[in-house]
Amino acid sequence: MSVNVKRGRPPGMMDVARLAGVSHQTVSRVLNEHKNVSEQTRLKVRAAIAELGYRPDRAARALVTGTSKVIGVVAQNSSLYGPASMLTAFEEAAQATGFAVNVGSVRSLDERSITEAVERHLDQRVAGLVVIAPVASAGPALEHLPADVPLVTIDGDPERSSTLVTVDQVAGARAATQRLLDAGHRTVWHISGPSDWFDAAGRVRGWEDTLTEAGVEIPPLLTGDWSAASGYRNGQLLARLPDVTAVFTANDHIALGLLRALNEHGRRVPGDVSIIGFDDVPEAAYFTPPLTTVRPDFAAVAMATLDLLMAQVESGPAGVGARRTIAPELIERDSVAGPA
Amino acid sequence: MSVNVKRGRPPGMMDVARLAGVSHQTVSRVLNEHKNVSEQTRLKVRAAIAELGYRPDRAARALVTGTSKVIGVVAQNSSLYGPASMLTAFEEAAQATGFAVNVGSVRSLDERSITEAVERHLDQRVAGLVVIAPVASAGPALEHLPADVPLVTIDGDPERSSTLVTVDQVAGARAATQRLLDAGHRTVWHISGPSDWFDAAGRVRGWEDTLTEAGVEIPPLLTGDWSAASGYRNGQLLARLPDVTAVFTANDHIALGLLRALNEHGRRVPGDVSIIGFDDVPEAAYFTPPLTTVRPDFAAVAMATLDLLMAQVESGPAGVGARRTIAPELIERDSVAGPA
DNA sequence: GCCGAAATTGTGAACGCAAACATGCGTGCG
DNA sequence: CGCACGCATGTTTGCGTTCACAATTTCGGC
């Protein structure tokens, strides 16, 4: 397996063919695992490939086939734990199947930005597209793209997207809310994510539904923006209301901010107030106290996405949109107790 | 700006040329901003491009030029805040200059994994390579790659990498340690990152140097792995030593774990123990208490990287390795006070 | 031992673009 | 007035691969 040391362009199929004493087409066949190639020539070609250190040129292949082994991902350029986790999980999964991942981050998820990012990917002749589009405004951008490009949306609009993978936000929120109710709390407050996020909306719904079914009073909804800062701001308010004994926050970072606000006001967790978060960020176990939270399985989301995408890549964009929902899991730690 | 609704392949340069009444080469010249094109035909061509919704095929261009407008990034597939932040910051910067970013995540930063990732990128004919290689074992993988591919290493080995961008770990660690000393503490303990990380090593050195210069006793070094869990483990130990009054942790997550351990043992921060972290994760301001920490400017790292890379892309791999060091900034919050 | 089908290999084209080379035209200068 | 040079544009070639089709060989059955 000697390295090619010649100058100039790297070796091409022709060079391999010459060395192996066959035609370039035969080399192509070996490369693409065609059936009708004799074992003998296959070996000769393989040997020549190894000797020259030949590597097929992806660009040339993309040119003629009209598609590449690259998947374009459109994601928001943020350090939000959820989206970021999905992204890296997806990358890893895609690489395992021989696909490269092209990330087109986008500053905000408005229609224009997404459209641009999608078009950049289309220029690269990506084999498929994954859009992490958790907000409503992302919807329209995906309506008008070529129908023949495989597309899977993560956390997109359940009403529009044809092929969708989502975490079951409602179920997660229900589990959290119910857990708090079961602990004996009269009701449960909620600090939500931004209202235009589907994730946030789903968590709100799960929370409301559970409360309604329990026949319990529904406290006013507080709105955050996923940040610890917003949890802190809302916490300043909550800390002053003595009858607040249980809070479900839309994510762990909000919970962290809330924790600090509560702490500053001398309210103990879980002694005075119980809290459940969402996401299970790696640090959640080391909050003070360790946070009970809902863990979405991002790896599973990534798998499902890849799965759905590959199905389309292989057989043309699937007809009716396939859906895949990943059920999250409640992780019990120390931030929940009964009311005083 | 009507959308192309024709069947079959998207329009090519020929289609544009025909519509504009020129040759395809003229279209090419307009696209590449060649000088010798009259304003008049330039306009005609532009109009034709817009009317057809023509978009150049990157694959074809890559084939003929031998290079693409894609930058390959090799990074570890982890949710560590630092590397992840650099990655997204870099993506954004690259896109602004018209380059797409291909991420080749890698599960671990050993030589084999990195070599593979690099070769995948080379197959795609990337215009340049960025490797986020914070550990020693990543070095060898970069020795044997074609000399003509532009390469910038982030947080790589100062001894080997020719073109390198790093955060000035030593300076950051010095600032933190000095701040603690200035507050009146007799000495400063340190929980470091994994010893094979350059970042960790630099922080240890800055800490040691400062202590040495101050003529102060150097406590035994405690080692973590960047995780809150490791901060907690080491914290269990530290919390039992009454003479520990100041700790500099290698990152904010370790600080969080330490915070919890201290809290469990009834040691108040900053009353009994002062702490300074590193990274300034968005949540650091909402720890209890808000964490004083060192903030590396990841955006600046990304800019510098892109800068260095572009210089190489334009003029061939630069001769002697250019270096760029980004100075971090101490962010003062509430986790530091004088000794009791 | 001959025919046809299947298996194996080869030939030519095409993919969409940029580079090299070629052309035609005008303009300045001697 | 003619020549050379610069500008604007056109023509040709080839990048490395796959595809459609052709050519050759192999093999079984009768």
Q: B287 and B309 share a domain?
A: no
**Geometric angle at alpha carbon A148, from A142 and A153, rounded to 5°:** 40
Q: What's the CA A31/C1' D16 distance, rounded, in angstroms?
A: 14
Percent of chain A clearing pLDDT 70 (strictly above) = 96
Greatest mean pLDDT among A134-143, B205-214, B306-315 lies in B205-214
Q: Which of residues A231 and B7 earns the better pLDDT score?
A: A231
Q: A178 and A285 share a domain?
A: yes
Which residues of chain B have a CB within 8 Å of the CB of A253?
282-283, 286
B333 has a chain A CB within 8 A of its CB: no
Q: Which residues contact B225 (CB under 8 A, 6 or more apart)?
A: B193, B194
The per-residue pLDDT for B286 is 97
Domain contains B333: no
Half-sphere exposure of B117 (CA within 13 A, CB side): 32
Q: How far apart are CA B114 and CA B93, in angstroms?
A: 23
Nearest to B263 among A70, A88, A288 (CB): A288
B170-227 pLDDT, tens digit each: 999 999 999 999 999 999 999 999 999 999 999 999 999 999 999 999 999 999 999 9
The pLDDT confidence band at residue B10, using thresholds 50, 70 and 90, is confident
- Say whether the CB atom of B23 is under 7 angstroms from strand D: yes
**Geometric angle at alpha carbon A109, from A105 and A114, rounded to 5°:** 65
Nearest to A77 among B58, B70, B92 (CB): B92
Q: What DSSP element (H or E) covers A294?
A: strand A292-295
A225 has a chain B CB within 8 A of its CB: no
Q: B115 and B148 share a domain?
A: yes
**CA dist list (Å): A189 to A285, A291, B253:** 22, 16, 28
* Res. B334: pLDDT tops 60: yes
Q: How many residues does chain A have?
A: 340
Q: Under a CB-based contact definition with an 8 Å cutoff, are residues A67 and A121 in contact? A: no
Q: How far apart are CA B263 and CA A283, in angstroms?
A: 16
Domain contains B340: no
Provide the domain limits for residue B196.
169-296
The pLDDT confidence band at residue B5, using thresholds 50, 70 and 90, is very low
The CATH number given to whatever domain includes residue B312 is: 3.40.50.2300
Alpha-carbon gap: B55 to the closest alpha carbon of chain A (Å)? 7
* Res. A83: pLDDT tops 90: no
Nearest to B77 among A9, A91, A260 (CB): A91
The per-residue pLDDT for A3 is 42
Q: A239 and A254 share a domain?
A: yes
Domain contains B232: yes
Domain contains A90: yes
Please give the average per-residue pLDDT across B97-117, as a whole number.
89
Q: B278 and B201 share a domain?
A: yes
* Res. A120: pLDDT tops 50: yes
Domain contains A292: yes
The pLDDT confidence band at residue A320, using thresholds 50, 70 and 90, is low
Please give the average per-residue pLDDT across A296-320, as a whole number.
86
Dihedral class, residue A195 (left if φ above 0, else alpha if ψ from -120 to 50, else beta): alpha
Q: A210 and A146 share a domain?
A: no
Please give the average per-residue pLDDT across B89-107, as a whole number.
90
Residue where the block lists tokens 């210089």: B311
Domain contains B216: yes
The residue in chain B having the minimum alpha-carbon distance to the alpha carbon of residue A144 is B3
* Res. B315: pLDDT tops 80: no
Q: Give the β-pairing of B189-192 and B246-249.
A: parallel
A56 has a chain B CB within 8 A of its CB: yes
The per-residue pLDDT for B123 is 83
A22-65 pLDDT, tens digit each: 999 999 999 999 888 999 999 999 999 999 999 999 999 999 99
The per-residue pLDDT for A169 is 97
B256-289 pLDDT, tens digit each: 999 999 999 999 999 999 999 999 999 999 999 9
The pLDDT confidence band at residue B319, using thresholds 50, 70 and 90, is low
Q: A321 and A249 share a domain?
A: no
The pLDDT confidence band at residue A8, using thresholds 50, 70 and 90, is low
Q: Is the dihedral of CA B61, B63, B64, B65 positive or negative?
A: positive
If DSSP codes are grouped into helix, strand and coil, which group holds residue A157?
A: coil
Q: Which residue is nearest to nucleotide C10 (CA to C1')?
A: A23
Please give the average per-residue pLDDT across A204-218, as a whole number.
97
The per-residue pLDDT for B1 is 41
- Say whether the CB atom of A315 is under 7 angstroms from strand D: no
Which residues of chain B have a CB within 8 Å of the CB of A101?
102-103
Q: How far apart are CA B224 and CA A150, in angstroms?
A: 44
* Res. B116: pLDDT tops 80: yes
Domain contains A337: no
Alpha-carbon gap: B103 to the closest alpha carbon of chain A (Å)? 6
Residue A325, Cβ neighbours under 10 Å: how many? 15
Q: A151 and A232 share a domain?
A: no
**Geometric angle at alpha carbon B137, from B131 and B138, rounded to 5°:** 15
Residue where the block lists tokens 């589009």: A133
* Res. B141: pLDDT tops 90: no
The per-residue pLDDT for A1 is 41
The per-residue pLDDT for A5 is 42
Q: What's the CA A37/C1' C1 distance, rounded, in angstroms?
A: 29
Q: Which residues contact A242 (CB under 8 A, 6 or more apart)?
A: none
Domain count along chain A: 3
- The packing angle between helices A58-65 and B58-65, to 10°, is 140
Q: How far apart are CA B139 and CA B109, in angstroms?
A: 10
The CATH number given to whatever domain includes residue A31 is: 1.10.260.40
Q: Under a CB-based contact definition with an 8 Å cutoff, are residues A83 and B85 in contact? A: no
Three-class secondary structure assignment of B13-47: HHHHHHHHCCCHHHHHHHHCCCCCCCHHHHHHHHH
Q: Which residues contact A198 (CB under 8 A, 6 or more apart)?
A: A134, A135, A136, A155, A156, A157, A158, A166, A169
Alpha-carbon gap: A214 to the closest alpha carbon of chain B (Å)? 34
The pLDDT confidence band at residue A7, using thresholds 50, 70 and 90, is very low
If DSSP codes are grouped into helix, strand and coil, which group holds residue B340?
A: coil
Q: Which of residues A291 and A160 earns the better pLDDT score?
A: A291
Joined tokens for residue B316: 């061939």
The pLDDT confidence band at residue A316, using thresholds 50, 70 and 90, is low
Residue of A88, A101, A118, A130 to mutate, testing the B interface (most B Cβ within 10 Å of its Cβ): A88
The residue in chain A having the minimum alpha-carbon distance to the alpha carbon of residue B261 is A286
**CA dist list (Å): B4 to A77, A146, B12, B27, B48:** 30, 10, 12, 18, 12
* Res. B79: pLDDT tops 80: no
Residue of A234, A288, A298 to mutate, testing the B interface (most B Cβ within 10 Å of its Cβ): A288
Q: Is the dihedral of CA B265, B270, B276, B277 positive or negative?
A: positive
Q: A180 and A277 share a domain?
A: yes
Q: How far apart are CA B36 and CA B28, in angstroms?
A: 12
DSSP character at residue B126: -
Least confident of A108-117, A289-298, A317-326: A317-326
Q: What's the CA B42/C1' C30 distance, rounded, in angstroms?
A: 36
- Say whether the CB atom of A31 is under 7 angstroms from strand D: yes
Domain contains B180: yes
Q: B182 and B275 share a domain?
A: yes
B144-162 pLDDT, tens digit each: 777 778 999 999 988 887 8
Please give the average per-residue pLDDT across B281-298, as a whole number.
96
The pLDDT confidence band at residue B7, using thresholds 50, 70 and 90, is very low
- How far, rounded to the nearest angstrom, does the alpha carbon of residue B42 sit from its chain's CA centroid? 40
**Integer-rounded Cα radius of gyration of chain B:** 26
CB contact (8 A) between residue A227 and residue B282? yes
Q: B163 and B181 share a domain?
A: no
- Say whether the CB atom of B32 is under 7 angstroms from strand D: no
The per-residue pLDDT for B3 is 42
Q: Under a CB-based contact definition with an 8 Å cutoff, are residues B259 and B269 in contact? A: yes
Q: Which among B163, B156, B123, B155 has a CA at the least distance from the CA of B139?
A: B156
Q: A176 and A257 share a domain?
A: yes
- The packing angle between helices B298-315 and B81-96, to 10°, is 50
The pLDDT confidence band at residue B78, using thresholds 50, 70 and 90, is confident
Average pLDDT of chain A is: 91
* Res. A188: pLDDT tops 60: yes
B226-252 pLDDT, tens digit each: 999 999 999 999 999 999 999 999 999
Amino acid at A204: V
The pLDDT confidence band at residue A317, using thresholds 50, 70 and 90, is low
- Residue ranges in chain A assigned as alpha helix (H): 13-20, 24-31, 39-52, 58-65, 81-96, 111-123, 169-182, 198-213, 228-238, 252-264, 298-315
Beta strands in chain B (DSSP E): 70-76, 100-106, 128-132, 151-154, 164-167, 189-192, 222-223, 246-249, 274-278, 292-295, 323-326, 329-331
Q: What's the CA B29/C1' C29 distance, rounded, in angstroms?
A: 31
Q: Which among A165, A158, A265 has a CA at the least distance from the CA of A202?
A: A158
Partner A, chain B 268-307, Cβ-Cβ below 8 Å:
282-283, 285-288, 290
